Chains A and B, each alone.
Chain A
């Protein structure tokens, strides 16, 4: 090959690089390793993480069973090693599954349209807020303190430099849900959107309809956030919201130390041109056959550049595919039964513990625990990872912890945990 291009050595290929930009020494990285050594290294690292512990952690990341079909489908090279489906004629597999994904997310959330995915739930929130700013022509964002604390941090990072002031409103110290009086006192004619989460960070179901009515009465949009997608198997979907920004981690994605997960944005048909990210649409080929392709690309950065609705390019396609397979495996009845098991398990454990709030909850709840760190240390001795101490995010709740039960939580572990209180 060198001969064919008229070179005598590989070095000839970049001999024109200026001397001062050449890197002349070897990289300080160990020499290449065999497959066995690589597998061995990661097994050792996995061994240094928690294995064989029962866990009651939720807080935006949920341990749900992953049906075998998920990895079976996602491991197919045709999905795993394909590119963004810009060339529709040779990507109908990916395009069709994304169309099905968008459709199922709509059915689940009560929205009319949904995009092909966002990075995760946390980054979907500021993207939804920016969308609301474009739609309303207003710039102020009101976010509930019961929205995941890390999501709010991401919203602040994005909002800071876009002239998008973000203000928080409080929660009822008794119920653990939105303080509507506080929201009402803060909402004004500059408010582009009110952001709530349900079930909220404390696991409590919010009054979405009431929040939507309040937002709409002031000309603002309601953005509905969810972190626990399984809840939508039982809960009334947020039909009254204008934008839904959610996290699909619960649908087939292991905790994997924080990612990759998949976010999603759904909205009303009338706002479709303001939605960020990729969209797949139905169309026909030259022979009149049904076909799918990426559509409304004029919203996106590769066409609109600095005037795009977002800078997002790569999203979480394979993760969304895994969620699609998960939704298919469980289906209409299965998702409901899955949600019902989560509900039953959490209420069994909650029945044994001192609850901090009175609001109705799904699979997470806050309990009183005067010394949460000591309690967790004692539980670790029993190979149980306890709840998340909330003082870290809510100083006023430093004597509480957030516990989560899923369909995988065993009764014996729940009894052991309750025994330590």
Chain B
């Protein structure tokens, strides 16, 4: 079937630098209304550059065509389903983009007087309140810029609390199914990492955990539902084990889309967690950011939250810098405010009544896919799935076709692949998360594609191994890229 290459209408858009020609420009600046200053005189001749060597020079239409053409080489949610497990690629409502550009908010300088920033602070205050309600926690900081940044903040909070009790302890436990950011974060916060093996249901084994936890254990970083999409049934027992030893419970909120309105981490023993506002709360991924990694905590950790803290006295909001026990700042100013605006708009659109419904739909969609694909792919665990389902490529691997190959073939069917080869505890994992925003028609198209590929693997595995066949570029040589890294354009000699 689809074996044509480079069928795209925009065949060969050059790089910006190759388009450039001297003297072209796409900008206009106003006529200077003050006397012109000589740069060499004002800054010192030695401090002044002659030019920005090789910087591009293009006209306005060349600029817009260049980026528009490049944009058509991308896949995006606006074009179809993005079933990436643990990434929660849901629809990004456009009203969120509009309100994030509200004049008074867009041009609010972080150092402008608090009396002239009340609207921005109110937005943050309301978002903090909603996120505390959704997570069942007592306080929220909006300062961290992304999930991993929130993790670092959370683990530093754990360290600060334990230090205030006299001993910061030495290690953090992470399940072997954890996202890579969890162990990387623990290491950045000065902890050694101990991995705990998942049991045959993909869950943590309380008995094994109990044997591991000791007076040197600072905390556990758990994802719930975990990265195989399974709710940790014994989470309360797990929390009890940790708390009995004076250790804390951190939750990676990457999978919070499975819980909103149905279950609250604060009610099942979590002390501190982050939320990825660019997952659960619909702010766009934008090709890899910006995100926002709000951190929610129980009362015991509140004194240690990053400075400054938002505070309301009477009707007026202010920033509280007098926080002697704070871990300090994790970034400048108050956080990725524009992302926070979008997240609040999402919460307002759904409301307290709509949020649990979205969660239910996310669960329904994932379980529908599981049911449709189970006859063709090996489900990794029998335990019930929440918002995502994980298969292994066992059956297809017998034909020499692996999860990465199936993913590339899926591209030919007009879908972005699922999450490939993660979690690592599942050999050859296919991790699928549809989110609530896909309708049955799109889900059926996806399942049809997956089933068709399973059949192709039976009949013509060699064809699948060479996929994708229909994209502008064929399979990309990633090994070659890493062997001799070329990470910038240089003028050919």
A binds B: yes
A96 within 8 A of B: yes
CB-defined contacts of B165 to chain A, threshold 8 Å: none
Residues 139-179 of B at the A interface (beta carbon under 8 Å) = 145-149, 151-152, 156, 159, 179
B311 within 8 A of A: no
Contact B289 A318 (CB under 8 A): yes
User: How many angstroms from the CA of A318 to the CA of B283 in the assembled complex?
Assistant: 12
Looking at the assembled complex, report how far the CB atom of B417 sits from the nearest CB atom of chain A, in whole angstroms. 6
User: Count of chain B residues with Cβ under 8 Å from any Cβ of A?
Assistant: 192
CB-defined contacts of A50 to chain B, threshold 8 Å: 104, 107-109, 112-113, 116-117
Contact A21 B235 (CB under 8 A): yes
CB-defined contacts of A295 to chain B, threshold 8 Å: 478, 481-482, 485, 487
Looking at the assembled complex, report how far the CB atom of B253 sits from the nearest CB atom of chain A, in whole angstroms. 13
User: How many angstroms from the CA of A45 to the CA of B122 in the assembled complex?
Assistant: 7
B396 within 8 A of A: no
User: How many angstroms from the CA of A79 to the CA of B290 in the assembled complex?
Assistant: 12
Known: A23-B136, A81-B76, A104-B56. A99 touches B473 (CB 8 A): no
Q: Could you list 10 further interchain pairs (A-B, Cβ under 8 angstroms) beyond the known A30-B352, A157-B330?
A: A43-B102, A50-B116, A79-B74, A94-B287, A255-B108, A283-B476, A305-B184, A308-B184, A314-B289, A328-B26
Contact B43 A343 (CB under 8 A): yes
A138 within 8 A of B: no
A331 within 8 A of B: yes
CB-defined contacts of B97 to chain A, threshold 8 Å: 75, 80
Contact A83 B291 (CB under 8 A): no
A1-15 interface code vs B (CB 8 A; 1 in, 0 out): 110111100100110
CB-defined contacts of A137 to chain B, threshold 8 Å: none
CB-defined contacts of A310 to chain B, threshold 8 Å: 184, 188
Residues 20-41 of B at the A interface (beta carbon under 8 Å) = 20, 23-27, 29-30, 32-37, 39
Residues 128-176 of A at the B interface (beta carbon under 8 Å) = 148, 150-151, 153-154, 156-158, 160-163
User: How many angstroms from the CA of A121 to the CA of B42 in the assembled complex?
Assistant: 26
Known: A89-B471, A285-B475. A80 touches B284 (CB 8 A): yes
Contact B472 A92 (CB under 8 A): yes
A84 within 8 A of B: yes
Residues 74-115 of B at the A interface (beta carbon under 8 Å) = 74-79, 82, 84, 87, 89, 91-92, 95, 97-113
Looking at the assembled complex, report how far the CB atom of B60 sits from the nearest CB atom of chain A, in whole angstroms. 7
A40-84 interface code vs B (CB 8 A; 1 in, 0 out): 011111111111010101011101000101011111111111111
Contact A99 B488 (CB under 8 A): yes
Known: A49-B117, A92-B70, A314-B148. A301 touches B286 (CB 8 A): no
A421 within 8 A of B: no
Contact A334 B25 (CB under 8 A): yes
A356 within 8 A of B: no
Interface pick from A178-186, A187-195, A212-220, A230-238: A230-238
Option from A304, A330, A332 in Cβ contact (under 8 Å) with B184: A304
Contact B236 A336 (CB under 8 A): no
Contact B355 A27 (CB under 8 A): yes
Contact B235 A328 (CB under 8 A): no
User: How many angstroms from the CA of A156 to the CA of B327 in the assembled complex?
Assistant: 10
User: How many angstroms from the CA of A243 to the CA of B92 in the assembled complex?
Assistant: 36
User: How many angstroms from the CA of A16 to the CA of B190 in the assembled complex?
Assistant: 38
Option from B156, B364, B417, B481 in Cβ contact (under 8 Å) with A87: B417
Most buried by B among A148, A163, A347: A347
Known: A84-B288, A260-B336, A335-B55. A73 touches B71 (CB 8 A): yes
CB-defined contacts of B72 to chain A, threshold 8 Å: 78, 93
User: How many angstroms from the CA of A31 to the CA of B337 in the assembled complex?
Assistant: 24
A259 within 8 A of B: yes
User: How many angstroms from the CA of A121 to the CA of B145 in the assembled complex?
Assistant: 12
Contact A33 B108 (CB under 8 A): no
User: How many angstroms from the CA of A161 to the CA of B191 in the assembled complex?
Assistant: 9
8 sampled A-B residue pairs with Cβ under 8 A: A2-B364, A45-B122, A114-B488, A119-B336, A151-B332, A262-B290, A287-B5, A306-B183
In the complex formed, the residue of B with least CB distance to A233 is B52
A35 within 8 A of B: yes
Contact B347 A100 (CB under 8 A): no
A312 within 8 A of B: yes
User: How many angstroms from the CA of A291 to the CA of B479 in the assembled complex?
Assistant: 13
A374 within 8 A of B: no
CB-defined contacts of B215 to chain A, threshold 8 Å: none
Contact A88 B476 (CB under 8 A): yes
B180 within 8 A of A: yes
B277-309 interface code vs A (CB 8 A; 1 in, 0 out): 010000011111111100000000000001100
User: How many angstroms from the CA of A376 to the CA of B113 in the assembled complex?
Assistant: 10
Looking at the assembled complex, report how far the CB atom of B123 sits from the nearest CB atom of chain A, in whole angstroms. 5
In the complex formed, the residue of A with least CB distance to B15 is A100
Contact B99 A306 (CB under 8 A): no
Contact B262 A360 (CB under 8 A): no
Contact B338 A332 (CB under 8 A): no
A382 within 8 A of B: no
CB-defined contacts of B361 to chain A, threshold 8 Å: 10
CB-defined contacts of B46 to chain A, threshold 8 Å: 236
Contact B289 A315 (CB under 8 A): yes
Known: A2-B364, A333-B57. A113 touches B287 (CB 8 A): no
